[in-house]
Each structure stands twice: as structure tokens, then as C-alpha cells.
Structure 1
Amino acid sequence: MALPTIILPGYMAGAIAYQNLQTSLQKLGIDTTIVPLRWQDWIPTLGGRSVTPILRAIDATVQQVLQQSGAAQVNLVGHSAGGWLARIYLGEKPYCIHPTDTEACVWNARSLVNTLVTLGTPHTSLERWTRRNLDFVNQTYPGAFYSDVRYVCVAGKAIFGQRRPGSWLAYSSYKLTCGQGDCWGDGITPIPAAHLEGADNRIVEGATHSPKAGRIWYGSPGLLEQWAKELQG
């Protein structure tokens, strides 16, 4: 039987953007809950500030799902920034790298998580506003850090970054993320940044980054099934 699954929204995204993904996973027999974020809940994290408010919301959702389902563990699906936020949430080291982090800031949730699926997550970045948080993640929990958690890292291969109209945004985003603009990715996250050493790394052809109407992304029919089977038990 499939464990309950929790969707972690991406940066500046609210839960509403993932309702179609939730429905699609439920049709596959996967009981799915979305961390109930609104886009404005991300405002306190702007400029590379602490992501503790988001981590609190993740933990509250995990605890609620465990209590209601009676399950001992959950699976996490982290889209974009949700993927590296999950890596902090799994860990036992204090996330106290900002002046506002006055509490213990330790979630140590690895025993509560069976599988972490990341979708288009920029696990690395050269952008100065995100470096503080991501450097903490990658220096404290490098790669697929916990052997008792399964890491499935999914990258989209949809847009090749080039310095010309139509692919300039992808080029700029890729270069800011991994230092190379002329490579493949989902239009925001380049493939090299979406994978982790030691993880089950996947490439999904045609997947663009965000769940926008009229665009094919990780949760679209035909693409969803390529990674969702890892949640079915």
C-alpha cells in the first residue's frame, strides 16, 4: 500500500498551483496532501533570509498527515525550492544561520520520510541571495546524504539555453544556477543542478519547470507516471 505523500510547493508558489498534481496522484492511488502555503507566506524569506517559516509549515503538515493516516512514514515531493527545503527538514543539524533563527531549528525528520522526490530542484546555485541557504544544505547534507531515505531527483529536458530570443531566460537562469548557460534543462533549472550525487537521478523529456496552464511540466500526463511510480509502494 502506498504511503501518504506530501507536496512541497516551489518558491513563491501557493498550494493552489499543485491541485491538479494532487488530483493526478490520487487517481494513481496515492493519498496526497499539499503543504497549505500561500504565495505571500514566502515574503519573509525574500533576499536569502531564513526559510524557517516554510519549514514549520512543512512539519505541521507532516505531523497532521501522520496522525490522520496512522502511517509511520510519508513520502515527500518537493518542487523547485521545495526539494532543497526538504533536505533541511530531514536533517539533525541546527539550521540557525540567520539572526532571526532564535529557536533550535532542528527537525530531524529523516525517520518520518521514506522517499524524497525532487522535481526541477536547483540543488546548487551561484546566485548570491540563495547561496547562504544552499551552501548550508550542501555543506551539511551533501548529495543523497541519508542512506535510509530514498532520493529520486527528477530533471526536465525541455529547453536548451541559448543567448537568443526564446531561450534567453533559460540561458540566464542556467548560468546563474550552475555557471553554464548553454545546456539543457526545464527552462529554469539546468539538468546538472537538479541531480544529486548518490541519488536515483532521472531525466524527463519535455518537462518544463512550473505547473502553468497550457504547458507540459513534471505533473503532466505521460510525464507524471515516469516518477510517480516511486510513490506507489
Structure 2
Amino acid sequence: MPPVVLLPGYLAGQAPYRGLVTAAQSLGVAIQVVPLRWWDWLPTLGGRSVAPILEPLDHTIQQVQQQYPGEKITLIGHSAGGWISRIYLGQTPYYGRVWGGAARVARLVTLGTPHTSQERWTRKNLDFVNTEYPGAYHPEIQYICIAGQAVQGRKWTLAYESYRLTCGQGDAWGDGITPVAAAHLAGAENLTLPSVWHSPSSPGEWYGSPGVLPQWLPRCHASSDTKC
């Protein structure tokens, strides 16, 4: 099977994904999580460059490819890790560096990624992504965008405020952090999972739970011709 690398979400390290890795192993899929610590994200606060995250992502992918010569990888990005992965794929200089990851990636899978935002700090990077690489930009890459539909936003709740800052509609449905509409990309294979929450710390099953993983991982990992 092609190798798989997972980029954690905002302010997340490697540890919260251990359950996902174990569940994936039971399905015959080995996942290498980029070895971040939560404090590795601190230099990116306030809309600054996410190069401190892109660097370990690139290093991890190169290490994995040394183990699988000639193989392109499946890249999974959780939450902000999804749009950061879109920067990694591109050829446009980002803070003076071209990452060019499209040459090393066969498939991008995003889990609860806010591909849009109305929050001013996040928009600094997301506007770059969506201007330079709109939608499923690279035709040679299979894009699979997975949303959770666990809770409708209600006033005075975290979900409402998060949805409002992401898509402008607080009473939308989503995974408790990312509304469904923002988690999908034009031209991608878009999948919505009912009753699925955003992260391992959520009150219910999330994208990486043992009961949820079989709903998307086998189909999205099998081959470029397999559709979610």
C-alpha cells in the first residue's frame, strides 16, 4: 500500500493521534504522524508564516519516501493541517520558499479542515491558499475532503461562534468546529459523515475513532480510481 503521512491540526502534537494510528493499523494501513509538539505551533500565531509546520512535514515525507522508493504518498491533513498541506503542494513561493510537494503526493485527504475563514488572522494564510490554489487545484492529485455533521450551531455555544467565524453562518451544521460547507472543496470528492465530531477531545466519535475510520480510510486509501 502507498505510504500515509498525517499532519496534525492547529495546536496539536503527535500524541492525540495515537488512537487513530492504532485503529488504522487494524485496517492494514500504517500512518506516520508528523512528530509535532503543540508548542511548535506558537511561532505561527497571529497569522504568521506556517513554515515552522511545513518544515517538519517536508522532513517526514522525505523520510517516509526513503523507506518507499518511488512511491508517492497519501497525505492526510486534520483541521488546519489540511489547508497547510495545500500550501505544501504548491509551486508559488510562500515566504520565499517553494515547497513543491505535489511531486511527492498522490492524494490529499482533509479531515474537518476549514478551507475558508472570515477570521482576520487565519485569512492571511487562507487567502493565499485559495487565491493561488483554488479548489482541487492539482489535477494529478486526488482530493478527498471529509466533513463531520455532528451538531448545529446555537447561539452562545462554541460551535456557533466557530461556524460564524469560519463561514459567516453560526447556525450551520458541522463537526463542532468546522461547518460542513467550509470542509468541502470545489472539484474534490466531498464526503459528509453524520454524527462525527472534530477532534479526539470532542464529546463523541471523531474522524479517527475506531467506529468512524472504516467509513472513509479504506475507500480513500485503496487507489486513485476508488471514489469516496
TM-score computed with the length of structure 2 as normaliser:
0.94
1:7-86 equivalences in 2 (<5 Å): 7-86=6-85
Distance in 2, Cα, partners of 1:82 & 1:203? 18
1:198 matched residue in structure 2: 187
Contact 2:10 2:80 in 1 (8 A): yes
- Please say if 1:212 is aligned against 2:201: yes
SS in structure 1 opposite 2:216?
helix
Provide the rounded CA distance (Å) in 1 between the counterparts of 2:201 and 2:151: 16
Whichever residue aligns with residue 188 of structure 1, its letter is: I
Q: Which amino acid aligns with 1:224?
A: L
Question: Cα deviations across residues 99-152 of structure 1 (Å, max 9, x unaligned)?
Answer: xxxxx4111111211111100000000001111100000000000001100000
Structure 1, unpaired ranges of 5+: 97-103
- Equivalent residue letter for 1:202: L
Aligned to 2:102, which of 91, 105, 110? 110
The total of aligned residue pairs comes to: 222
Match for 1:20: what amino acid? G
Query: Which of 129, 138, 141 in structure 1 is aligned with 2:121?
Result: 129
Distance change (3 Å), C-alpha of 1:157 and 1:213: closer
CA distance in 1, matches of 2:110, 2:70: 22
Spell out structure 1 runs of 4+ moving beyond 4 A. none
Task: State the alpha-carbon separation in 2 of the partners of residues 17 and 74 from structure 1.
Answer: 22
Aligned to 2:226: none
Which residue is equivalent to 1:140?
Answer: 132
CA gap of 1:49–1:78, structure 2 versus 1, over 3 A, is same
Hey, what's the Cα distance between the residues in 2 that align with 1:212 and 1:180?
Answer: 24
Structure 2 spans left out of the alignment, 5+ residues: 224-228
